[in-house]
């Protein structure tokens, strides 16, 4: 929330952890360049993977170069943001400009999440706070290609306001009278007016010529994602490109956990906020009848899932409260599997979230619909999801927000969990009270209903106590009738009074509401085997089901490259990485993957190493049993006859991550062979994707940029990105073979669809 409304507190004089690194240590990591025997005029610091800091003290310029998720937390950890006092007023240091990546997506991750860095500049540094000594009329700057800057401007706008009119709310299914009431509340948080992002931020477009940032500091693009800063004759280069094996790092470390899959339980994935550099943001995971549901998707949720031993293909759905980055930024990580997960939210929340996310990704909202299985929830009603009931209730907030109550029927009644993220305190709502007909404010009856909803009884209730204008306060829940209160969404330690009201819930702790007695993993193993071997009689499946389910510790090698395979493993939970000698980057495998199958059936050495990333549960299948079992299935001759095709597709970057063996079989069966002659030139297909099997080629864009292609590289599928690749071609340098796959089949796999779009953006410079 922008415009005079600190995100996490009522004033800027709030507490931060005292463990932050001192600013002085930065000198030990600086890149120093001399000019005429004077001190360096430009200081460059490598903050983290894909994040750099450029500082020109003489020009009063501090540039955050690259702003992936949690970049503010990385700056905090490096001591580049520290609490200070300016003329007696609490404040912080930090950047006053952001250089954006030319590429919206790299290695499957969004490159730019500028919302929190902008909030830090406007509020924590005081650049927009009335009367603050740092409010001197300068606006934070967004620097980069026009397309990227404009996209982030729109992203921040939607993150600030969500839906911006009663018409947009009505289009999302809200009745007109209620839409008008919600707009009055929204305007109260926005101090009466919805403003354009351009009023708050200054855009600096970097295209073909050097652009002046401020006071004689210039930046120019040397090539895609590589920039040069210059000042007073000094030059510094910044490269925001990631290598194939690199990903943006998490600023904190999480311990590994091995979870029991209870019948109904809450796993706590975080109780921090967007400013806490030591903890994940407020979130939860619900376990019910073997299903896994995420409640909100904060930054680095994929890291949290790995630490909990939950693979991406185990996620059945997400319940989403609202679209601020500390609850949204990890949403795209949930698309890195081979099936669309269910997206559960009130229609107005979905509309708000998708408009914001579409801006950051430069997608259409329709594109996002193809990545998720949309399941709209009815507000103020119990929605039944296979026995798990959920009731979303509107919560007053700057963007469309609901709190959630979950319940499951059990002996003596219901067991329940309440998730109250980003709520408004009673104090704030009272200050916003307005009579009917006022342009901005909250209706007294609405306030009463909201307080009653917040205080409904639940067995376990997690509460946002972040304070300030848009978060709750623990004192409002003193005397709450719930069985257990968990206080969350803060970057500070709980006060003594707060500790008398509620509990904490460190990462990985579990509250069991209904104990499980069935064997979830053996049932899951049976379902995987039945899908993989649909023609095998049940008695043979039961024979294999008698094999042992093993637990592999993190970092343990399951199979070594170059060795014979003793056991085949069917992954049931957790994440396994596949490593190939001489090939950069690891492939991530999740539940449903069969490891070691081909060398086991063919009696060959394994060509890859398989290593547990998290705690992994797997059904261990001895080679002799598995070979005998497979030979009684029609799948065995398919595996034998298509072994080369299977391995070729598995090696391809498109299918290396998150693709289960069942899905891989479908791809193998659909792949046709294609042959190309030396010097043959072909246009890029719209509705097919081609994977090179052998030979070398060149991808030549309309602007004559040349990209070498070799085995496992891909091209085509341009229908996913209308307008991309116009005038581009592929020239084969020698005889080559490839596999043709229909785009319709490939694009239904979210992780593959995502990678194809990333490739198009990179090749055709979607700036």
pLDDT in tens, 46-55: 999 999 999 9
Chosen domain end from 472, 490, 514: 514
CATH number for the domain that contains residue 268? 3.60.15.10
Residues contacting residue 765 through CB under 8 Å, at least 6 positions apart:
102, 224
Distances (CA, A) of 671 to 145, 690, 693, 715, 740: 39, 9, 12, 15, 5
What is the enclosing helix (H) or strand (E) of 683? strand 681-683
The band of 765, judged by pLDDT with boundaries at 50, 70 and 90, is: low
The band of 388, judged by pLDDT with boundaries at 50, 70 and 90, is: very high
Same domain, 580 and 691: no
The band of 17, judged by pLDDT with boundaries at 50, 70 and 90, is: very low
pLDDT tens for 502-554 read: 999 999 999 999 999 989 999 999 999 999 888 888 998 999 999 999 999 99
So what's the pLDDT on residue 31?
A: 43
Same domain, 556 and 601: yes
pLDDT (average), residues 216-221: 97
Backbone angles phi, psi at 541, to 5 degrees: -65, -40
pLDDT tens for 696-716 read: 999 999 888 899 999 999 999
| Low-confidence winner among 10-24, 286-300, 585-599, 650-664 (lowest mean pLDDT) | 10-24
Same domain, 691 and 729: yes
Cα torsion 592, 549, 253, 240 to 10°: value is -30
pLDDT tens for 405-445 read: 999 999 999 999 999 999 999 999 999 998 777 889 999 99
* Strand pairing class (341-345; 372-376): parallel
7 CB-side CA count, 13 A: 26
So what's the pLDDT on residue 763?
A: 87
- Which residue(s) pair with 211 in the sheet? 219
Same domain, 606 and 631: yes
pLDDT beyond 50 at 149: yes
* Cβ(113)–Cβ(329) below 8 Å: yes
CATH number for the domain that contains residue 701? 2.60.120.10
pLDDT tens for 339-370 read: 999 999 999 999 999 999 999 888 778 888 88
Same domain, 495 and 449: yes
* Strand pairing class (413-420; 460-464): parallel
So what's the pLDDT on residue 40?
A: 67
pLDDT tens for 570-620 read: 999 999 999 988 777 788 999 999 999 989 988 899 989 999 999 999 999
Please tell me the total count of domains within the chain: 4
So what's the pLDDT on residue 24?
A: 34
Same domain, 570 and 694: no
The band of 761, judged by pLDDT with boundaries at 50, 70 and 90, is: confident
* Strand pairing class (51-56; 61-65): antiparallel
* Cβ(298)–Cβ(285) below 8 Å: no
pLDDT beyond 80 at 2: no
| Low-confidence winner among 32-41, 78-87, 437-446, 626-635 (lowest mean pLDDT) | 32-41
Same domain, 375 and 496: yes
So what's the pLDDT on residue 633?
A: 79
Mapped onto helix, strand or coil, the DSSP state of residue 742 is strand
- Domain-located, residue 537: yes
Chosen domain end from 484, 514, 544: 514
- Domain-located, residue 175: no
Q: Answer with the residue of higher pLDDT: 363 or 138.
A: 138
User: What residue spans of 311-411 are helical by DSSP H?
Assistant: 325-328, 347-361, 365-369
pLDDT beyond 90 at 285: yes
pLDDT beyond 60 at 176: yes
How deeply is 139 buried, as exposed, middle or buried, from its count of CB atoms within 10 A (0-12, 13-18, 19+)? middle
pLDDT (average), residues 733-738: 96
> Distance between CA atoms of 340 and 345, rounded to whole angstroms?
15
% of the chain beyond a pLDDT of 90: 79
Residue closest to 311 by CA, chosen among 337, 290, 284, 293: 337
Q: Answer with the residue of higher pLDDT: 405 or 336.
A: 405
pLDDT (average), residues 634-659: 83
Instruction: Domain of residue 717: give its range.
Output: 662-767
- Domain-located, residue 252: no
User: What residue spans of 533-575 are helical by DSSP H?
Assistant: 538-545
The band of 11, judged by pLDDT with boundaries at 50, 70 and 90, is: very low
Distances (CA, A) of 440 to 176, 206, 465: 16, 39, 25
- Domain-located, residue 172: no
- Domain-located, residue 648: no
Same domain, 498 and 529: no
- Domain-located, residue 346: yes
Same domain, 726 and 678: yes
- Domain-located, residue 652: no
How deeply is 571 buried, as exposed, middle or buried, from its count of CB atoms within 10 A (0-12, 13-18, 19+)? buried
* Cβ(134)–Cβ(127) below 8 Å: yes
Cα torsion 324, 329, 332, 334 to 10°: value is -100
Same domain, 548 and 672: no
- Domain-located, residue 177: no
Same domain, 450 and 352: yes
Rounded to a whole number, what is the largest CA-CA distance in the chain?
84
What is the enclosing helix (H) or strand (E) of 288? strand 283-288
Mapped onto helix, strand or coil, the DSSP state of residue 707 is strand
Same domain, 535 and 414: no
Chosen domain end from 191, 222, 239: 239
């Amino acid at each position: 929330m922008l415009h005079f409304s600190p995100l996490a507190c009522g004033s800027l004089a709030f507490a931060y952890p005292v463990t932050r690194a001192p600013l002085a240590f930065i000198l030990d990591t600086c890149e120093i360049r001399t000019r005429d025997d004077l001190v360096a005029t430009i200081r460059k610091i490598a903050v983290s993977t894909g994040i750099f800091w450029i500082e020109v003290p003489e020009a009063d310029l501090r540039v955050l170069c690259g702003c992936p998720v949690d970049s503010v937390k990385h700056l905090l950890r490096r001591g580049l943001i520290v609490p200070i006092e300016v003329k007696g007023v609490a404040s912080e240091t930090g950047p006053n400009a952001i250089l954006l990546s030319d590429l919206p997506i790299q290695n499957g991750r969004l490159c730019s999440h500028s919302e929190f860095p902008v909030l830090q500049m406007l509020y924590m540094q005081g650049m927009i706070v009335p009367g603050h000594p740092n409010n001197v009329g300068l606006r934070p700057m967004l620097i980069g290609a026009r397309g990227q800057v404009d996209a982030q401007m729109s992203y921040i706008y939607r993150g600030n306001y969500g839906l911006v009119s009663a018409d947009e709310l009505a289009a999302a299914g809200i009745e007109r009278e209620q839409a008008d009431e919600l707009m009055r509340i929204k305007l109260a948080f926005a101090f009466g007016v919805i403003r354009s992002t351009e009023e708050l931020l200054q855009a600096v477009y970097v295209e073909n010529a050097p652009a002046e940032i401020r006071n004689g500091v210039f930046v120019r693009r040397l090539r895609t994602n590589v920039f040069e800063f210059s000042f007073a004759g000094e030059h510094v280069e910044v490269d925001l490109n990631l290598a194939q094996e690199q990903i943006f790092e998490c600023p904190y470390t999480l311990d590994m956990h091995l979870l029991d899959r209870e019948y109904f339980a809450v796993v706590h994935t975080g109780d921090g906020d967007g400013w806490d550099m030591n903890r994940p943001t407020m979130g939860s995971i619900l376990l019910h009848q073997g299903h896994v549901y995420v409640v909100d998707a904060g930054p680095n949720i994929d890291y949290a899932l790995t630490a909990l031993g939950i693979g991406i293909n185990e996620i059945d759905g997400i319940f989403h409260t609202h679209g601020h980055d500390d609850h949204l930024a990890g949403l795209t990580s949930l698309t890195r599997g081979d099936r669309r997960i269910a997206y559960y939210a009130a229609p107005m929340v979905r509309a708000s979230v998708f408009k914001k996310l579409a801006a950051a990704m430069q997608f259409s909202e329709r594109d996002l619909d193809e990545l998720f299985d949309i399941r709209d929830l009815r507000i103020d009603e119990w929605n039944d999801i296979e026995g798990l009931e959920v009731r979303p209730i509107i919560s007053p907030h700057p963007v469309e927000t609901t709190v959630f109550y979950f319940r499951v029927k059990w002996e003596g009644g219901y067991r329940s969990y309440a998730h109250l993220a980003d709520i408004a305190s009673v104090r704030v709502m009272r200050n916003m009270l307005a009579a009917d007909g006022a342009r901005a404010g909250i209706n007294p009856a609405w306030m009463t209903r909201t307080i009653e909803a917040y205080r409904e009884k639940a067995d376990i209730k997690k509460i946002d106590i972040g304070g300030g204008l848009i978060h709750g306060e623990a004192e409002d829940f003193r005397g709450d009738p719930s069985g257990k209160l968990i206080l969350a969404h803060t970057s500070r330690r709980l006060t003594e009074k707060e500790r008398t009201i509620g509990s904490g819930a460190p990462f990985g702790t579990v509250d069991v509401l209904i104990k499980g007695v069935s064997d979830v993993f053996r049932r899951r193993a049976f379902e995987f085997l039945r899908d993989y071997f649909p023609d095998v009689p049940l008695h043979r499946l039961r024979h294999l089901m008698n094999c042992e389910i093993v637990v592999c510790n993190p970092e343990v090698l399951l199979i070594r490259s170059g060795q014979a395979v003793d056991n085949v493993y069917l992954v049931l939970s957790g994440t396994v990485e596949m490593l190939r000698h001489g090939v950069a980057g690891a492939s991530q495998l999740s539940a449903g993957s069969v490891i070691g199958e081909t060398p086991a059936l063919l009696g060959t050495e394994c060509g890859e190493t398989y290593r547990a990333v998290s705690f992994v549960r797997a059904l261990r299948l001895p080679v002799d049993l598995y070979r005998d079992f497979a030979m009684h299935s029609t799948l065995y001759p398919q595996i034998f006859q298509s072994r080369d095709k299977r391995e070729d597709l598995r090696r391809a970057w498109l299918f290396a991550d998150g693709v289960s063996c069942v899905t891989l079989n479908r791809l193998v069966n659909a792949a046709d062979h294609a042959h190309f002659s030396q010097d043959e030139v072909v246009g890029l297909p719209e509705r097919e994707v081609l994977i090179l099997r052998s030979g070398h080629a060149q991808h030549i864009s309309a602007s004559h940029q040349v990209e070498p292609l070799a085995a496992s590289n891909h091209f085509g599928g341009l229908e996913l990105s209308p307008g991309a690749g116009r005038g581009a071609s592929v020239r084969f340098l020698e005889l080559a073979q490839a596999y043709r796959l229909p785009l319709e089949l490939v694009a239904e796999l979210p992780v593959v669809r995502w990678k194809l779009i990333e490739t198009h953006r990179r090749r055709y410079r979607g700036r």
